[in-house]
Amino acid sequence: MPDSSLLYASSYSPVLVITSILIAIFGSYAALSVLPRIVQAERTNEKLVWVLVGALAMGSVVWAMHFIGMLSLKQPCCIYYEPTLTFASMIPAIMSSVVALS
């Protein structure tokens, strides 16, 4: 474990930051392109399917953007992400997207 004062000596990978921004832009466009289908859907089941598709896309993009942003941070210590917990952290992003698109 390095000295705790070294933990403040960090930097970001510009390539990963730009990748995160591009994912946010293109993913938001893809997720929000579902909105006309939600509005035009006449049946409740059809509307629900489009909300879920849009929420899955939008929530995944929000999660991916933040996770890539976290990966871009380079620190002088070892950082470990628990795979199950990391993927479970996608659930709140998807659920909040359901609320936003509803």
Name the band, by pLDDT with cuts 50, 70 and 90, for residue 1. low
Give the pLDDT score at 15.
95
Nearest-10 Cα torsion for 91, 93, 95, 100: -170
Q: Is the dihedral of CA 85, 28, 34, 44 positive or negative?
A: positive
For residues 74 and 1, the model is more confident at: 74
Give the pLDDT score at 78.
79
Residue 2 has pLDDT above 70, yes or no: no
pTM of the model: 0.80
